[in-house]
Amino acid sequence: MDSSVLIGPEALPALAELLFRPAVTRVFVLADGNTSRLCLPLLEKHLPPDYCLIEIPAGEEYKTLESCTTVWSTLTEQRADRHAVLVNVGGGVVTDLGGFAAALYKRGIRFVQVPTTLLAQVDASVGGKTGVDFQGYKNQLGVFQAPAAVFIEPQFLQTLDPRQLKSGYAEVLKHWLIADAAAFDQNRRLGWLTDDWTDIIRESVALKQRIVAQDPLESGPRKLLNFGHTVGHALESYLLTQPSREALHGEAVAAGLVCESWLSVQRGLLSSDDLDRIETFVFSVFDKIAFVSLETDAIAEFALQDKKNAGNTINCTLLNGIGNGVFDQPVTVVEIAESLRYYHRLSA
Ligand SMILES: NC(=O)c1ccc[n+]([C@@H]2O[C@H](COP(=O)([O-])OP(=O)(O)OC[C@H]3O[C@@H](n4cnc5c(N)ncnc54)[C@H](O)[C@@H]3O)[C@@H](O)[C@H]2O)c1
Ligand SMILES: O=C(O)C(=O)C[C@@H](O)[C@H](O)[C@H](O)COP(=O)(O)O
Ligand SMILES: [Zn+2]
């Protein structure tokens, strides 16, 4: 599942090198409404002049099979063959959906990822998880399929909204919590904001690649990368059903980091002092997500569809101390609801 990942000024020239090879019959570029406007200008000179743009609307609500149909229809109308390449230019919605659409078209054409949000640069573009949401559940349909390569240009982040930057930072925090206590400690002292994200991107990508290399198809240690997501995805999915109450993926994951750290304390795996450090750091970046305690049972129910589950057992990733994730820790839906009530009571 490992693909080459280029980060920095050499990334886009290397993309051009791949796309201009004679073996590539046609280049298709998938973007959303924002990335076609804000990111294509920087990319354009690295693309062949006859590339075909496929545009989908921006936002998680468009991470659907219907958007894939838009991609597949254009590929079909343009008679794309198996030597075509799909270039996914955008955040995690575009890289997940584009990877999935490419993997299914004619049983698979090559795709490359050009992630343009912090979240997609540190996490979503790497590791080969692709997919779309279905019937209200996150990434319910998907395949593991490695991109031909990933090209990361941190300059894209210059047009990114601060709320989106923070959302990406949740996945960085997750990486430190599961596998790098020293980075967690250093960065909680420094604060989250920086002018240059390149080092953080490099370190996060390397950490994720190390874990994915051990277990590309998530039968074991890759589940560590899902820390914060049992609760995070439940919250994100629930709020997607509520008009005007959407939380960004990273915002929901940040809440999930707190809830699942609390569950780790309940299991005797994490100290209360460490939970306190995690909460202080999380709430120095993120506002609390608003919900009423009456909603916690409905939110927790979504965890029954988590992909790490086996039968009726919800398998959570927890922390055995900061920097040391542990996977396959059974929790009940009642405990998930309790963790949400704990989060709800916290005064951020
Ligand atoms: N495959 C994985 O391993 C993985 C990992 C983490 C998250 N994800 C998925 O990623 C998705 C979230 O990704 P995201 O946070 O990037 O969201 P996103 O793709 O919706 O992008 C966020 C917003 O930023 C805009 N945008 C993108 N790049 C921009 C730029 N450079 N300047 C200005 N605006 C820009 C987009 O148009 C969108 O409105 C979720 O669906 C999540 O499930 C997947
Ligand atoms: O790469 C992984 O593995 C992850 O779990 C990374 C997560 O940050 C990401 O949100 C992923 O899409 C979650 O996948 P899912 O299998 O829980 O849908
Ligand atoms: Zn995630």
Query: Ligand 2 centroid to 13 CA: how many Å?
Result: 29
The CATH number linked to 255 is 1.20.1090.10
Q: Do 191 and 105 share a structural domain?
A: no
Catalytic residue among 222, 223, 307, 308: 222
Ligand 2 site, residue 127, Cβ cutoff 6 A: yes
Percent of the chain past pLDDT 70, that is, above it, reads 99
Query: Ligand 2 centroid to 306 CA: how many Å?
Result: 11
Q: Do 256 and 152 share a structural domain?
A: no
Q: Is the pTM value of this prediction over 0.90?
A: yes
| pLDDT tens digits, 8-54 | 999 999 999 999 999 999 999 999 999 999 999 999 999 999 999 99
| pLDDT tens digits, 133-149 | 999 999 999 999 999 99
Read off φ and ψ for residue 141, nearest 5 degrees.
-115, 130
Ligand 1 site, residue 94, Cβ cutoff 6 A: yes
Q: Do 112 and 193 share a structural domain?
A: no
Establish whether 307 is a catalytic residue. Answer: no
Q: Do 244 and 139 share a structural domain?
A: no
Looking at the CA of residue 32, tell me the nearest atom of ligand 1.
Answer: 37
Query: Ligand 3 centroid to 97 CA: how many Å?
Result: 14
Q: Do 120 and 103 share a structural domain?
A: yes
Which residues in the chain come in under a pLDDT of 50? none
pLDDT at 51: 98
Residue 311 neighbours by CB under 8 Å, 6+ apart: none
Read off φ and ψ for residue 16, nearest 5 degrees.
-60, -40
The ipTM estimated for the assembled molecules is 0.99
Establish whether 46 is a catalytic residue. Answer: no
